[in-house]
Structure 1
């Protein structure tokens, strides 16, 4: 169940991320979608700590990235509240790029998710 919810909410995060990156910045829609995206990303990051069966029940280097995402999302919120828009933009864009790259690597042949879905 954890892997399924992790995957489904990560896919939703990609969609909300694209929507927010392409929309007008600073308005109420941007803020609402942004909070939804941050919530999805936080869930995906925290849920990764319960996904250990793919590494013999141990944490892997990927979990360090989850810690970084939690920190950088928090910093993004801090920066926008301090009106440091450029730093907010850099951290949010970095998180979105990280999400996208993680998704691409997750779908490579031989990985768990594509095999589970019967793609390769």
Structure 2
């Protein structure tokens, strides 16, 4: 179950994040999709802690890719607090950082020995 939750939320966040970044900022659509995106990102990051790190475990089953999950959770928190305080530039920078973290994590899943890479027949 954690794997499916992680896959669905991650892929939703990956696609929706690109859309939110392309939309005109401050509109109702941007804010509404942004809320869904933040939720998907948080579920993706949190659910990753129940999954193995694959190569190079650091602590128990957690690997380097889990450091990106921590980064995403921090970035989301700072970004949401920033927009609630009216700090639009800071919000934008941290949201972009969270999305870059997601892209980094996705690239990490494509490395040799990772489940996603195996399923896609990359290695």
What range is the shorter-chain TM-score in?
0.7 to 0.9
Matched with 2:8 is: 8
- 1:21-100 correspondence runs (5 A): 21-52=21-52, 54=54, 55=57, 57-100=60-103
CA-CA distance at 1:26 after TM superposition: 0.4
* SS of equivalent to 1:50: coil
CA-CA distance at 1:107 after TM superposition: 1.7
Q: TM-score when scaled to structure 2?
A: 0.85
CA distance in 2, matches of 1:111, 1:63: 13
- Structure 2: unaligned runs, 5 residues or longer: none
Matched with 2:108 is: 105
Q: How many residues align?
A: 120
Q: TM-score when scaled to structure 1?
A: 0.87
Higher helix share: 1
CA distance in 2, matches of 1:87, 1:53: 31
